[in-house]
Structure 1
């Protein structure tokens, strides 16, 4: 149970014997949450970072990350109303971080990208944005503001139905190179569409049907749009945040749920000016929550989590709208990448996943059949992991956090025909002994049979020796002692089935998703560097760290002028 005096209403949720704390964390008690999950500053003017070690001179480009930079939102101009406090890791308003690297030097800047959400909240007296965790407008009830309390509690998911300014929707999952988009009809957009969006704009993705365009130099938000503006047949919801990208063909693949509940996979030509739909294929399955797809050279693989979103009560927390289906298998739908034809179906054993790692197709030398390997970070299907990332459960963890496992699934003889008769997805390999999440590989390894290395965060809420900013400060020492949202990183090897681990030293904590960047002209898959960010011992600022891709040991670091607002994903864009 939660520590007494922290909340007047404590709700410990249980699912299949697993507990987590789910209650409203007040503004006063945000001090018990790590600094990388509280309000973080922005550095809008680029500064040069003090460095140590040797930054490779071949490293030329921009490393961008999107994170959660703001949790406290004023609801009035004069302070007459209590501040709203966003309550879930996924709910923090976006902040875009940029590291420009050239000549062995590192320059940093950052900008909040959802300030329009805060502006509207101050004007309207309540927050209007999608919220995974408890409704941030909860204190309004205690403030006896029935009007605002009513409006603010009417929805947990917010989908704009008209034009909005480019920072009035919270986008905080995946930043990528932009692409040529259709003409902009939104009168609230800012700036001018770039003639070279691949290098001059950043496109931010999230788990619903919307894209945010930001200026790659200033990081300022420029435009919000839905996929329906690319093509009217992409009207709907249920987009996944990680559309896999076929760099050779200039295509990305995603999912969508139509307004009448049909789930489809579609392909986009992102080399076209503007981007255009190549195909769209309806799937014979019920809608579900899906965060990423998988693909090989010849196929796209849609993997249906045994989870669905119950939207019958829009006042519920989104994390509680996601419901597990105990009788459903995890389903693999294989589609031809060129035509979108659904060619085969496979059933798995009821696991769930956030992130796919890689996939490849190959011809089995013994059977002469075309098979696919799909690598995923998997969890027990009985437990919805999103529910652990409330600020209340981070400050006061009720149990050890759920851990994922890196698993390789085999889909055998995908060309055998009759997709209405599912085959069985079997386990070909797994990396046991180390938790896995936020996986990254070398770009050159994408869809390549025999690729070896995966880099990932190795355990949620792991140890962080000597840090002065541990999480779980409300714990009584007899249950769960936690020290960081992420404890360490790991590099695994499919060929040997082994892994090596890297953990911050000197009291530093919470390394984020490791991003591998290959050395130009590299012949070995792991010849390059891995970038991550850690929080310093006292929690006053963060540090960009470079690890050698082969040895997985630190070679250089750069001090940021501020704390990094923790976010799930980043991208390196070559100069």
Structure 2
């Protein structure tokens, strides 16, 4: 079942369908180390910041790329820098801090890189003798706690997270670093994703890996809501966390990489894609002098498998849902409609791009150098897959099982217990002019796991996002905010307190530019019209980041 059994529905890849770029500008200023601003500073307001917005826009991402003479190799390796735009009564203040992770502290004390990251292997201590340095090659590298990917929430507490077994609890007001949390002290996992899902009952779901002599498993984790007494204590609390389902890898020697997963009101879907992690290379990578990014390979000879799990019972479906090789980082939304599970996600046909985001590539010169790199990258586009939930021995073979109105996605039973799916494209050709999209966000609080109409994302007409997009999944039309030389962060939707419609609210994004020093601003768009309401200008340089959240309790 791991081999691709069906032809692709399109002869052209998403990269080939998007226009080739020419004359792109250099983005090096967006991936250089920044200085922290621990004490809140005022911003200059242009336009109007709606007075009903009351909270903090929290952002995470790499912010320091060297220690002493040592330089990181990959963008993912930079030390975590947390940013806070506090919004109240139409005014905005800004502050930032580096996460005081063990990695940051140890690197700072030694003034060199002593903890390995995704794309950078820490070299042996030059003060050791030759024999000691040789032996250090055979020591198992410890996972980093450089949590530079996202802000997440468990039992009411905020944490910053990456994709190892470590998180760091943080204070969302002061950005103070608190205790390190080790997932393996609560449940049997070796790592966890930085993209959990939140249930309306207060519980949180996530995915984590585990490997042992019995094989490699993808584990669905549930963390229960906080207890009233525990909520009063100022300490990390993941008590009650449990694994509700363990999914064995299709190839235990080469499990798949994943960044997120799908959740609806009753189901979780794990997408096992053909980006493979070679475990033998992983165990030997330090001896070979290779970073973790070198043990990941794109293997399009394999299919993509969708593992369907009832998140209330933990029971995995016996049906094998699969499609051709594809690459996905971020899910948009999923919901149930009649006897079907509808899944929307950002997908591409080439999974080799993760290892290519080296700082050397990102800092290429304007023109031909950066054009060549950008034109080689995969472009992700929004897709819809539909899983038929009622598949049994009576299901007809080689017949489209998707009967939803106006739905172009298909699902066919190719043999008993196996269903091959093709997707519907959730866009028209206009999106191609924006280079595809990523970093999708919805009105999560009201519409996650439910039928929805709109999502917000970044367009990628450059290596980093150069536009903001509002997508209508009903009409496939889009609205855009795009200006030359301005590079927006992942958009975050904040609902109006008197909202009556799905898009009643604002979209927040941090805008940076390589063209002028200290010209960052927080952008506030009307989510319905996608027109600018106001901006809060702050005289700091902020590197291009990853993910963020809006903390209404800020």
Give the TM interval when normalised to the shorter protein. 0.7 to 0.9
2:478 equivalent to 1:499? yes
2:143 — aligned with what? 159
1:99 partner SS? strand
2:460 — aligned with what? 459
After the TM superposition, list the runs of 4 or more consecutive aligned residues in structure 1 that deviate by more than 6 angstroms.
143-149, 151-156, 417-420
Q: How does 1:508-519 map to 2 (within 5 A)?
A: 509-519=486-496
With over 3 angstroms needed to count, the CA separation of the structure-2 counterparts of 1:134 and 1:147, relative to structure 1, is farther
Q: 1:124: how far off?
A: 4.7
| Counterparts of 2:500 and 2:48, CA distance in 1 | 22
2:465 — aligned with what? 486
Match of 1:236 among 171, 183, 190: 190
How many residues are aligned here?
Answer: 474
Q: 1:555: how far off?
A: 1.1
When the two structures are superposed, what TM-score results if normalisation uses the length of structure 2? 0.79
2:528 equivalent to 1:550? yes
Q: Which moved more, 1:283-292 or 1:48-57?
A: 283-292
1:166-197 deviations in whole A, cap 9, x for unaligned?
xxx21100102342xxxxxxxxxxxxxxxxxx
Q: 1:340: how far off?
A: 0.7
Match of 1:277 among 241, 252, 263: 241
With over 3 angstroms needed to count, the CA separation of the structure-2 counterparts of 1:112 and 1:391, relative to structure 1, is same
With over 3 angstroms needed to count, the CA separation of the structure-2 counterparts of 1:144 and 1:235, relative to structure 1, is closer
2:231 — aligned with what? none
Match of 1:392 among 353, 360, 365: 360
Q: How does 1:408-427 map to 2 (within 5 A)?
A: 408-414=384-390, 416=392, 421-427=417-423
Match of 1:322 among 296, 302, 316: 296
2:409 — aligned with what? none
Decide whether the 8 Å contact of 1:98 with 1:109 is kept in 2. Answer: yes
| Counterparts of 1:329 and 1:348, CA distance in 2 | 6
| Counterparts of 1:126 and 1:307, CA distance in 2 | 32
| Counterparts of 2:352 and 2:152, CA distance in 1 | 28
2:178 partner SS? strand
2:443 — aligned with what? 442
Match of 1:528 among 505, 515, 521: 505
With over 3 angstroms needed to count, the CA separation of the structure-2 counterparts of 1:93 and 1:156, relative to structure 1, is farther
Give ranges in structure 2 of 5+ residues lacking alignment. 1-12, 16-25, 228-236, 365-369, 396-414
With over 3 angstroms needed to count, the CA separation of the structure-2 counterparts of 1:122 and 1:298, relative to structure 1, is closer
| Counterparts of 1:265 and 1:420, CA distance in 2 | 26
2:264 equivalent to 1:264? no
Q: Which moved more, 1:540-549 or 1:259-268?
A: 259-268
Q: How does 1:365-404 map to 2 (within 5 A)?
A: 370-381=339-350, 383-396=351-364, 397=370, 398-399=372-373, 400=375, 401-404=377-380
Decide whether the 8 Å contact of 2:333 with 2:449 is kept in 1. Answer: yes
2:326 equivalent to 1:351? yes
Decide whether the 8 Å contact of 1:240 with 1:291 is kept in 2. Answer: yes
Match of 1:332 among 297, 306, 313: 306
With over 3 angstroms needed to count, the CA separation of the structure-2 counterparts of 1:355 and 1:145, relative to structure 1, is farther
With over 3 angstroms needed to count, the CA separation of the structure-2 counterparts of 1:230 and 1:414, relative to structure 1, is farther
When the two structures are superposed, what TM-score results if normalisation uses the length of structure 1? 0.76
Give ranges in structure 1 of 5+ residues lacking alignment. 1-15, 19-31, 75-82, 161-168, 180-197, 364-369, 462-483
Q: Which moved more, 1:122-131 or 1:492-501?
A: 122-131
Q: 1:338: how far off?
A: 0.4
| Structure with bigger RCO (C-alpha 8 Å, 6+ apart) | 2
With over 3 angstroms needed to count, the CA separation of the structure-2 counterparts of 1:503 and 1:349, relative to structure 1, is same
Decide whether the 8 Å contact of 1:266 with 1:279 is kept in 2. Answer: yes
Match of 1:131 among 99, 112, 117: 117
Q: 1:347: how far off?
A: 0.4
| Counterparts of 1:356 and 1:35, CA distance in 2 | 30
Q: 1:384: how far off?
A: 1.3
1:476-517 deviations in whole A, cap 9, x for unaligned?
xxxxxxxx6221111111110111221135x4x211111111
1:45-73 deviations in whole A, cap 9, x for unaligned?
11221111110111011110111110021
The CA RMSD measured in Å over matched residues stands at 2.9
1:172 partner SS? coil
2:196 partner SS? coil
With over 3 angstroms needed to count, the CA separation of the structure-2 counterparts of 1:125 and 1:271, relative to structure 1, is same
| Counterparts of 1:303 and 1:177, CA distance in 2 | 23
1:99-136 deviations in whole A, cap 9, x for unaligned?
11111111111100046434423545752334333546
Decide whether the 8 Å contact of 2:152 with 2:194 is kept in 1. Answer: no
2:241 partner SS? strand
